Amino acid sequence: MEMSYQAIKTANQVREADELRTEARRKNLLVLILHYLTDSGYMSTAGALEQETNASLRRYEVCDNVDLETIMMEYESYYYVKFQKYPKITKKLGENTENCRFPLKSGGKLRRTVSNASQPLPRIGMSQRPPSQYGAKKAAQQRALGSHKAMQEEATEQPTPAEADFGLNVAPIGRTMGGSAPPHRRGQIIDFRSMIGDAIRAASGDITTSSTGLSPDPPDRLLKPLGAFAGMTGEMRELASIISRDIYLQNPNVRWDDIIGLDAAKRLVKEAVVYPIKYPQLFTGILSPWKGLLLYGPPGTGKTMLAKAVATECKTTFFNISASSIVSKWRGDSEKLVKVLFELARYHAPSTIFLDELESVMGQRGAGGAGGEHEGSRRMKTELLVQMDGLARSDDLVFVLAASNLPWELDHAMLRRLEKRILVDLPSAAARRAMILHHLPPVNSGTGLEIRTELDYEQLAQATEGYSGSDILLVCKEAAMRPVRKIFDALESHRPAEEALPALCLDTLHTGDLLDVLAHTKPSARTLCARYTEWQREYESV
């Protein structure tokens, strides 16, 4: 198959613009329904709608002269003008179907019943078939004449505009003055090039999204309702509502550029989550996306921050799962929770399952000796392994991102299912310099007080060797607090009877101040580096 860069890029931009408009249409429809329910006094139903959508619809309001009833009236007017009759919106069900529910598809959508307008054509018997070409032509003329008379009778039976109370003067198009039929009009010419161009500009940001009411990075995600989660019993549906609480709906506001270093980890996450959604035509067959990624390394090196970037940048449903999410004291509930977790991930696909502190859930089976591990723990681990095996054999866009500080305690079967294993090591000298510059720039006015610094960043980068990212943040925070402590002393020792307080001014931070802080702040994971490197040589998969 011949592909070009421009074709792939255009297809991705058009798809993103279409998804954005579809999401805006769904949200606008829910806001209209909520507005109608509230105005009509169905307050309990409106509250249930807000709770089930998991979105704060109250942050939106319907624009002036727009409501559900007005839209219905406009549609009826349009339908009457176009077809000379009013639309049939609802129909009464038979007595035997009064109490039945709408059947559900496996995908969760309601099945649409066949309308009266789409009845199958009557079968023509052998006796009704014309015997020759002349007879067929004559029969066709008779059918055309009969349909023309039927249309005239139907037009005379339609109510007048005065009876309809719409104030529209509607008349059928008849023959012209000369008695001939009106000339045949060709179909409307649709400019597909301009439509694709508008979609590309909308995806690129040239067209503002204020008209759609949906920003490219919405603060809350509109989830599918659990009512359409087919195939679940009452017990499973209750477990699904428990797992749904761990869906991360807020925006962590952590971008890829906010993560200093970790280039290999960011590249693999994009290959597994971002690019398969943007360019699906490239990820088929042997190029199917990765299903599992393990981030291991010392504490405080950015593993959880990378997961926050995935929740911010990737347009996926993010499940933030810990041991408390899938471990239950009731017998059999843990493996049921694991199964429901992966079923929900497929239902909300594309989705990402983040398992933080994986060693607390997937430690080596039988590590405590004979009879040392509980039976429920083994069943839960087995179910987790089975579900991850199912992901590897399917085309579902579900990705498992795991983080661990103790990778040598993980079960070997779990390591096989996590296809990529990345060491998130201590930051390099260039990364440490960038971190110190980010936390303590020459002029920091982001806080309530202005902090000025005169630092030798190269010297500090060499002095912080062996420090993790969180250790460097702690050092910078402690150094910035030192001049602030002098203000506390001045405020506490001042007496109202004495002279007025002098103007507030913080001392400038120098390189010696940070070196003094480093002498009293030791790194938290320097002794573990050798063990991580040894484990990497044996189990690395990049």
- Detail the residues annotated as belonging to a binding site for ATP: 297-304
- Token look-up 């994009």 returns 270
DSSP designation for 137: H
Report the binding-site residues.
Answer: 297-304
Pick from 245, 242, 222, 223: nearest CA to 232? 242
Give ∠ CA 174-180-185 in degrees, rounded to 5: 70
CA-CA-CA-CA torsion sign (120, 122, 123, 129): negative
Counting DSSP H helices and E strands in the chain, the numbers are 19, 8
Report yes or no: 439 and 447 within 8 Å, Cβ to Cβ: no
SS3 content of the chain, % helix, strand, coil (to 5): 50, 5, 40
- Token look-up 């039945």 returns 100
Give ∠ CA 442-447-450 in degrees, rounded to 5: 45
3-state SS, one letter per residue, for 336-350? HHHHHHHHHHHHCCC
Burial environment of residue 265 by CB neighbours within 10 A (0 to 12, 13 to 18, 19 or more): buried
Q: How far apart are CA 23 and CA 49, in angstroms?
A: 17
Instruction: Classify the phi-psi angles of 332: left when phi > 0, otherwise alpha if psi is within -120 to 50, otherwise beta.
Output: left
Q: Which two tokens stand for residue 269?
A: 């996450």
DSSP string for residues in 323-374? HHHH--SSTTHHHHHHHHHHHHHHHT-SEEEEESSGGGTSBPTTTT-TT-S-
DSSP designation for 281: G
CA-CA-CA-CA torsion sign (208, 213, 219, 221): negative
Q: How far apart are CA 359 and CA 353, in angstroms?
A: 16
Q: How far is CA 313 from the centre of its chain?
A: 10
Beta strands in 183-315, from DSSP E residues, in sequence order: 292-296
Q: Which amino acid is at 134?
A: Y
Q: Which two tokens stand for residue 284?
A: 């088929």
